[in-house]
Structure formats: structure tokens, C-alpha cells
Amino acid sequence: MFHKTLSATAIAVTLAGAALAQDQSIIVQSTTSTANSGLYDYLLPLFQKESGIQVNVVAVGTGQAIANARNCDGDLLLVHAKPDEEAFVADGFGTERTDLMYNDFVIVGPAGDPAGIKGMQDVQGALTKIADGKAMFASRGDDSGTYKKEMQLWEEASVDPKAASGTWYRETGSGMGATLNAGIGMGAYVLTDRATWISFENKQDYAIDVEGDTDMFNQYGVIPINPEKCPSVKVEAAQTFADWLLSDAGQTAIADYKIDGQQLFFPNAPKE
């Protein structure tokens, strides 16, 4: 209750400020894995309750998310392709990139395991066996962080899968969930982030075949969009969300998000 000596003008200003905080919202350009895994459904109500700021997520492949952010279509960027993120900041579109959390990539495949890769921890060796055996492989074939990682791994395995496009190597041009559905439909191996795989419901007889290689590490970063490039950015609200994600409260919330007892993301923001 307001003190009885508070002026009507002061009361009006206070109420207007409270209403503004409640109405405030930001747009986060984000990779699909953080959205499809259900992470935002868990995190955002916690943040909004604490801050009064509503977060609207645009979930697309990392490349598209970065392109959208370069077009000033958002206030914050949360993706997983570190070289591209660093270039985004170097070009002046982001104020600062900070490590947020990580998980890893895995290769999943059918029970029959036609390439004989089950249990391998050498991802390049597994990809070489898939290529040598012309076993079906379904790729996102887009500009996502997952596809960028896949291309890096093929290159390290000295394999050019695009030369086999349309034969044993199939590009879906789709998101992770759609690519998993397509891959399972054609009996193909698929590289996926672990969070999407854990939350994916149409597994059928598929299981993880390749995991544990340090080259399959999957780092996520958070970047506020620079108002010098994009004057419409909601600087304070975006920074508030970034700071919360990087705080002990946000990092704990990320660690607490689990499906069937499995942790999907592992916080690793630097400690001040």
C-alpha cells in the first residue's frame, strides 16, 4: 500500500513503470535444439516470474538465426556455432559472446547397424565406415550449427559426402526433428544433438551408436545484439535475460532441466 503522503503524480509514475515492466518483451533468435528440447518451456516462466519480461523465441537453424540477428530482427542471440558467433561479434553486431552451456552430438542408427559402427567413440572412423559401406545417412543439409559440425567431421574424415548426394547421402533441408523422422523412415544414420534425441519421441528401433568423442562437443553461446548496429534493440531487457542465464540462478535452472532423469544441457558460464 502506498504511503498516504505520496503524491498522485508519483503514484501514477510508479504504476506506469510497473505496467511497462509487465508489458516488456524481447525476441531471442535461437537454434532449434534449445526450443525443441523443451528447455525454454522450462526456463522462460522462471525468468518472467522474476523479471516481468516476456521472452519470445524464434527457433531456426543457427545460420538463419545469425542472419536474422544481422537484420536486427531480435534482441539476443543464442546459438551453437562458435566461429560464426565470434564473427558476428567481430563485425559489430553483438556486444559480447559468452559461453552458456554445452552438451554433445551423437550418431543414431537403426537396430541392424548396417555400417557396423555401434559402440564406436571415433566419430571420423564411424563416418568413414558409413561412406565406405554406402550406408544411408540423412543430413539436415541446411545452415544450422549441427550441419556445420557435421561438415567439419566429414572433412576431418577425408570424405566428401556431397559427392554422393541423392544416393546413400540424403539432405533433408529441414530441422533436426524432421531430419530424424526422415532418417528413421529411410533407415539412415543421423547426426543429432543429444538434447533433441532425448526429447525426440519417434525413436522406433533407433539408438545411439556413436558417442563420447571429444570432437562431438557442442558449445552454446549467448550474445546481446549491439544497439549501435540495431537501434531498435531492447538493450536493458535483453541484457537482463543474458545476465540471468549466466547467473547462478539461470545456470542452476539449466542444470535442473531433465527428461526421464537425463540432463540435457550442462551449464558452463565463466565465473566472475
Q: Collect all residues with Cβ–Cβ distance below 8 Å to 155 and sequence separation of at least 6.
A: none
* AA identity, residue 86: E
pLDDT for 10-68, tens place per residue? 333 333 344 344 459 999 999 998 998 999 999 999 999 999 999 999 999 999 999 99
Closest alpha carbon to 102 in 272, 247, 270: 270
Please tell me the predicted confidence (pLDDT) of residue 27: 98
230: left (phi over 0), alpha (psi -120 to 50) or beta: beta
**Predicted TM-score (pTM) of this structure:** 0.87
Burial of 185 (0-12, 13-18, 19+ CB in 10 A): exposed
CATH class for the region spanning 104-216? alpha beta
- The Cα-based distances of 6 to 18, 21, 173, 207, 253 in angstroms read 16, 21, 61, 65, 39
> Domain locations in the chain?
8-102+218-267, 104-216
DSSP string, 161-197: GGGGBTTTEEE--S-HHHHHHHHHHHT-EEEEEHHHH
Closest alpha carbon to 226 in 60, 95, 104: 95
Coil vs helix vs strand at 110: coil
Same fold, 8-102+218-267 and 104-216: yes
CA 136 to chain centre: 26
Name the fold adopted by 8-102+218-267. D-Maltodextrin-Binding Protein; domain 2 (3.40.190)
Closest alpha carbon to 114 in 183, 187, 164: 187
Q: What is the pLDDT along the chain (272 residues), one digit of tens a residue?
A: 333 333 333 333 333 344 344 459 999 999 998 998 999 999 999 999 999 999 999 999 999 999 999 999 999 999 999 999 999 999 999 999 999 999 999 999 999 999 999 999 999 999 999 999 999 999 999 989 999 999 999 999 999 999 999 999 999 999 999 999 999 999 999 999 999 999 999 999 999 999 999 999 999 999 999 999 999 999 999 999 999 999 999 999 999 999 999 999 999 999 87
